Amino acid sequence: MQGKTIVVTGATSGIGEVAAVELARMGARIVFTARNPLRAVDTLARLKIANPDAEHSYHLADLSLLDGMRQAGERIARDAPIIDVLINNAGAMFGRREETKDGLEQTFALNHMSYFVLTNLLLPCLKAASSARIVSTASMAHRAMKLNFDDLQCKNGYFSYVAYGRSKLCNILFTRELARRLQGTTVTANCLHPGFVATRFADSSDGLMRAGFGIAKKMGAISPDAGAKTIIYLASSSEVDGVSGLYFSRCAPETPTPEAQDDAAAKRLWEISAKIAGMD
């Protein structure tokens, strides 16, 4: 990864930070987004220790807002006109249904729309590289989920885990349609399940869910170091040169649910997302 430029969202904690630091150690320059300026400074310091020769940088942005997504994309494109790897990793689970100022349910906005908008804005920079990769963090939480295209914003009954699981299904469908649209280019797109990782995940949920996930993390969660392995693998391994449109777990392709392989649903989600983002 010597001399390569990697853009990472969700890089100030958990698997995103582990992946960013490890890829920096491998020689990459890291450009990342952050919402919290103090965490951004801490992560930047770790990156400088990992690879002091690279000009790492960050851009503050709220990726749950369409304006924040657009501003981040525009700033990153100016900062890094050639991008070798884009890692879409920002995400969260929310205990209560809340809408952003754009009228979007916040899980859908952050976990799906930020991937969609940022990727599309940075595609020219990715295509400018000799070859480039898009890596998106999905989850096995997509299992047993099905998109309700009549209620993508969960207005008719909100359950946090369902909203999260559907957003992860969106990640896989997005990757599938993105890979189809990238055929004939030197850019690939894959997604992954990192495992159940002991991070800050679900810490912003309500008391009962936060307590439940806290217990589960103590009993069976893997470390952020272990959870980041598939991200690092997809970003750097020669084994996945030219591989596109797949869902990975434990550094190997895995078959997602039939709902996650629905090409018509993937195309429909793309078209709806483009309309929401004003990119249609």
Mean pLDDT value across residues 89-102: 96
Q: Confirm if 163 and 96 have CB atoms less than 8 A apart.
A: no
By annotation, the residues acting in catalysis are: 164
Of 278 and 280, the structure prediction assigns the larger pLDDT to 278
Quote the percentage of the chain above a pLDDT of 70.
91
Q: Which of 97-106, 177-186, 192-201 is predicted least confidently?
A: 192-201
Residue 182 predicted with pLDDT over 60: yes
Residue 221 pLDDT class (50, 70, 90 cuts): confident
Mean pLDDT value across residues 132-141: 98
Residue 205 predicted with pLDDT over 60: no
Mean pLDDT value across residues 161-175: 97
Residue 210 pLDDT class (50, 70, 90 cuts): low
- Give pLDDT tens digits for 1-22: 999 999 999 999 999 999 999 9
pLDDT for position 185:
98
pLDDT for position 213:
46
Mean pLDDT value across residues 162-190: 98
Domains parsed from the chain with CATH numbers: 5-277 (3.40.50.720)
Distance of CA 87 to the CA centre of its chain: 6
3-state secondary structure the chain: CCCCEEEECCCCCHHHHHHHHHHHHCCCEEEEEECCHHHHHHHHHHHHHHCCCCCCEEEECCCCCHHHHHHHHHHHHHHCCCCCEEEECCCCCCCCCCECCCCCEHHHHHHHHHHHHHHHHHHHHHHCCCCEEEEEECCHHHCCCCCCCCCCCCCCCCCHHHHHHHHHHHHHHHHHHHHHHCCCCCEEEEEEECCCECCCCCCCCCHHHHHHHHHHHHHHCECHHHHCHHHHHHHHCHHHCCCCCCEEECCEECCCCHHHHCHHHHHHHHHHHHHHHCCC
Mean pLDDT value across residues 273-280: 97
- The CA distance from 75 to 39, in Å, is 19
Sequence-ordered list of residues with C-beta below 8 angstroms from that of 55, at least 6 positions apart, any chain: 29
Please give the mean pLDDT across all residues of the chain.
93
Q: Which of 19-28, 56-65, 84-93, 210-219 is predicted least confidently?
A: 210-219
Residue 204 predicted with pLDDT over 90: no
Residue 219 predicted with pLDDT over 60: no
Residue 200 pLDDT class (50, 70, 90 cuts): low
Q: Confirm if 266 and 53 have CB atoms less than 8 A apart.
A: no
Give the number of other CB atoms < 10 A from CB of residue 208. Answer: 9
Mean pLDDT value across residues 32-53: 98
Of 211 and 72, the structure prediction assigns the larger pLDDT to 72
Q: Confirm if 76 and 7 have CB atoms less than 8 A apart.
A: yes
- The CA distance from 133 to 266, in Å, is 20
pLDDT for position 222:
86
